[in-house]
Structure 1
Amino acid sequence: MGTLGRAMVNVGRREVKPFMSRNSAEARLRVLNLYRAWYRSIPKICHLYRLPVRPHQLRDRIRDEFYRNSHVNDVRAVDYLVIKGRMELQETMEKWKQDHHILAFIKHDTKVEQPTQFLAKFFTQK
């Protein structure tokens, strides 16, 4: 098994290049910067769309959305979510969304329905 065998083994080991972040600490900083950007833009969003809700309700909803994705550990997946979040923020701030898009986002129920059956409870445990 000469050089041909070694070449075939090396083909199986590919390094995946990151989108933006090199490690999890850098990805975490990007997430925090995105969260701050959303948090700082909330008063402007409420004014632009003339929302019938208070800014703290929008803050709660954005926080829930970030918590919903808090289980993601892969750096590339985190970068992808940050890119999507930046796009959402830009679309919102440029008023490319309609008022009902924002209201649907705020009113979206983030509560997960808890199982009542024994086996369903067992399978959903961590």
Structure 2
Amino acid sequence: MTSTIPARLATLTKTSSSPAESRKRALKLYRDWYRSAPEICGLYALSVSPAYVRHAIRQRFEKNRNVTDQRAIDVLLLKGRQDYQETMNCWKQTDHVMGILLAPLDRPQRTFLQKFYEGEFTSVSFRLIRVHNIVNSGKDEAAVIPAASGI
């Protein structure tokens, strides 16, 4: 196991003032990931080639290519930088790298019922969905829920 200096990759949280600046920051993050592919393979003793790691990194960046909201881009850059720091400092297990970073992104969209059957929705989720529907419908919650009958 190699020793790392955690502060070596630490950066301050930044907000981009323009789309050009966020593009520059995204390209820098992409280059950092791309150049680190051989080191990632070595650090985690992965059974995949650096070319495969680079391909997976490219897919991750391509997935968010059409995001235009400046705040969303800043959050994606922050999370990408944090993920890079955690990966390069060996703060992840090999399974994390293989399962999260290198997993294929071609999972099809699922409907509400498919997610429900898989157990992704709990009673809290149902309450939040119900409150959201009530608020958006403009109805008073008391009008939706019947009063106690007194029986």
Shared fold by TM > 0.5? yes
Is the 2:56–2:104 contact (alpha carbons within 8 Å) kept by the matching residues of 1? no
Query: Mapping of 1:1-126 within 5 angstroms?
Result: 19-113=14-108
RMSD, aligned α-carbons: 1.5
1:36 alignment partner AA: R
1:108 alignment partner AA: A
1:96 alignment partner AA: W
Between the aligned residues of both structures, percent identity stands at 46
Calculate the TM-score normalised by the size of structure 2. Answer: 0.60
Instruction: Give the distance between the partners of 1:107 and 1:83, measured in 2 at CA.
Output: 19
- TM-superposed deviation, 1:112: 4.6
Query: Any unmatched runs of 5+ in structure 2?
Result: 1-13, 110-151
Give per-residue Cα distances to partners, 1:47-96, cap 9 Å, x unaligned.
Answer: 10000001111111110000111111011111110010000000000000
Is the 2:37–2:54 contact (alpha carbons within 8 Å) kept by the matching residues of 1? yes
The 3-state SS of whatever aligns with 1:100 is helix
Instruction: Give the distance between the partners of 2:102 and 2:15, measured in 1 at CA.
Output: 32
- TM-superposed deviation, 1:25: 0.6
- Tell me the matched-pair count: 96
- Structure 1 runs (4+) deviating above 2 angstroms are none
Query: Could you say which structure has the greater relative contact order, defined with CA pairs below 8 angstroms and 6 or more residues apart?
Result: 1
Query: Any unmatched runs of 5+ in structure 1?
Result: 1-18, 115-126
Range 103-112 or range 66-75, more displaced: 103-112
Q: Who wins on radius of gyration, i.e. which is larger?
A: 2
